[in-house]
Amino acid sequence: MPTGRFVRPAAVLAAALVMAGTAAAPASAASGPNLEVSVVAQEGRWLSGDTVGLDVTVRNLGDAVAFGAFGTAYTESGTPLRIDRNQWGDLSDGGSGAPIAQGETRTVHLTGQLGTFDGDSVVHVEVHAGQDIDYSDNVRLVTLPMARGTERVAGVLYGDANGDGKPSAGEALAGAEAHFIGVGTTTDMVAVTDATGHFSFDNLPLSRYAYVSFQKVPGGWVDQPVGEMRLDGRGAYTALEVRAVRPLSDVLHETLALDKTTYAAGDTGKVTVTLSNSGTQPLTGLFLSCDAGGFGSELPVTDDQWGAFGSQRRAGTLAPGQRVVLTATAKVPDRAAYTGSTGLDCTADDGHSGGAPYAVVTAKVPGKVADSRGQVWLDKNGNGALDLDEGLAFRNLVLVEDGTICAYARTDANGFATFKNVPVGTYQLRVPGPWKPAPFEGDLGVFAPPYGGGEWHLRFVAG
């Protein structure tokens, strides 16, 4: 919006016209400073939130110094463009202005950020100086065209079996889920690839950042990232060719082993990692990413023990047919006594292929026992949430480990039960009868205080 400071030039313009009229002299005879402004706006189909550049060039065409020159730029109409006036430097209208000598040319690079969409943005750019003899060239209006409409994102997903980087006959990947998400869309949209591997999303809102990714890709193929898309109505993404490659785990194989099946806290555990290359090409840049996080009971193996295969060095190599055996040791952490287990899990990666093999090994750390209380429930009304009457009442529960029942409990009227004096560890909780755990539920870690003791709620479904 115009500022108080900004109102001045219009008054000056009127005064200049009056002076020209009263002087009754040809314009060519006028003497004094004469700033001329030109503006080059960055080209684009703009979206809210974009940053747009404006190059403002000021020339003094007159025959005298323009003193106290200052510039201003603001949105006259449409989508607002926010411009920090400090970008004008010594021409900022927050200061006392700057002199521009006769014949001098200065260029100021401004950037602004577009706000909420309100049609094309019309930006008023002006440089003022006292006694400018022709104010008509001191003001420029620049229109920034805003993108409009909707977008379509479509393409084909293919497994590049012949490695030519293009979709070839027989390479279509059908039945994969394409997921679209963009800034400005609230939910993940899903399309399933058809028999020819094609997918499409229509009538998408414009978006500065949008992404397509894939799930449930058949045959173990690993889709390569599509990259960030800018949906500004140009239709630039209607014929995507999304390449998928074979997973690294096709050729790189990993196994983990521990030297014992049972440890005590403070023991030294030794882990052996075996890596092999069953492919016909050498594998390079290999490294292990091992997680000593989890509940803090895993073996805290230091990365340097993996040598060239450490995640810091990323320099492991395997020739075709080659196999390497790596070993490392670490002390079993105290916390493992409270969770009942220790171990290690490692991904063997080359950092770029996707589909890296992952392996896990665990051992017991027995001794402690704990009580474990919680609730099993059925989502009777299907709302995905636990409601008051959904506890599975008066049922026997069992904890199972490796197919052996290790503990029993019985639920009360609200589906609550307590397992008493259970050896710490991780179990499968089961309800004998026509029920099965909901997906991703059904595992129960029984941990000793202070690491355990929280109440659990496990959802079961009819099955």
- Residues at the contact surface with Ca ion, assessed by CB under 5 A: 34-35, 132, 134, 137-138, 160, 162, 164, 168, 379, 381, 383, 385, 387
Report the distance separating Cα 417 and Cα 398, nearest Å: 11
Q: How far is the CB of 239 from Ca ion (least distance, A)?
A: 16
Both tokens of 447, joined, read 């941990």
Q: Are 242 and 159 in contact (CB under 8 A)?
A: no
Q: How far is the CB of 429 from Ca ion (least distance, A)?
A: 19
In 3D space, the residue among 384, 286, 288 whose CA is nearest the CA of residue 328 turns out to be 288
Q: How far is the CB of 375 from Ca ion (least distance, A)?
A: 13
**Closer of 395 and 459 to Ca ion (Cβ):** 459
**Closer of 9 and 78 to Ca ion (Cβ):** 9
Q: How far is the CB of 313 from Ca ion (least distance, A)?
A: 34
Residue nearest to Ca ion (CB): 168
**Closer of 203 and 383 to Ca ion (Cβ):** 383
Query: How many other CB atoms are found less than 10 A from the CB of residue 108?
Result: 20
**Closer of 325 and 385 to Ca ion (Cβ):** 385
**Closer of 35 and 142 to Ca ion (Cβ):** 35
Q: Are 125 and 57 in contact (CB under 8 A)?
A: no
Q: How far is the CB of 417 from Ca ion (least distance, A)?
A: 19
Q: How far is the CB of 198 from Ca ion (least distance, A)?
A: 16
Q: Is 79 exposed, middle or buried (0-12, 13-18, 19+ CB in 10 A)?
A: buried
Dihedral class, residue 61 (left if φ above 0, else alpha if ψ from -120 to 50, else beta): alpha
Report the distance separating Cα 178 and Cα 158, nearest Å: 12
**Closer of 315 and 385 to Ca ion (Cβ):** 385
Q: How far is the CB of 133 from Ca ion (least distance, A)?
A: 7
Pairing of strands 416-423, 369-378: antiparallel
Q: How far is the CB of 456 from Ca ion (least distance, A)?
A: 17
Q: How far is the CB of 168 from Ca ion (least distance, A)?
A: 3
Q: Half-sphere exposure (CA, 13 Å, Cβ side) for 37?
A: 27
Please report, for residues 262, 264, 339, 343, 419, the alpha-carbon distance to residue 367 in angstroms, rounded to integers and kept in the order given.
11, 8, 10, 17, 17
Residue 435: which H helix or E strand, with range?
strand 435-437
Q: Are 172 and 158 in contact (CB under 8 A)?
A: yes
**Closer of 345 and 379 to Ca ion (Cβ):** 379
**Closer of 166 and 260 to Ca ion (Cβ):** 166
CA 31 to chain centre: 60
Q: How far is the CB of 376 from Ca ion (least distance, A)?
A: 13
Q: Is 71 exposed, middle or buried (0-12, 13-18, 19+ CB in 10 A)?
A: buried
Q: Which own/partner pairs from 433-437 qualify as long-range (CB within 8 Å, at least 24 positions apart)?
A: 433/395, 434/462, 434/463, 435/378, 435/392, 435/460, 435/461, 435/462, 435/463, 436/460, 436/461, 436/463, 437/461
**Closer of 120 and 137 to Ca ion (Cβ):** 137
**Closer of 20 and 181 to Ca ion (Cβ):** 20
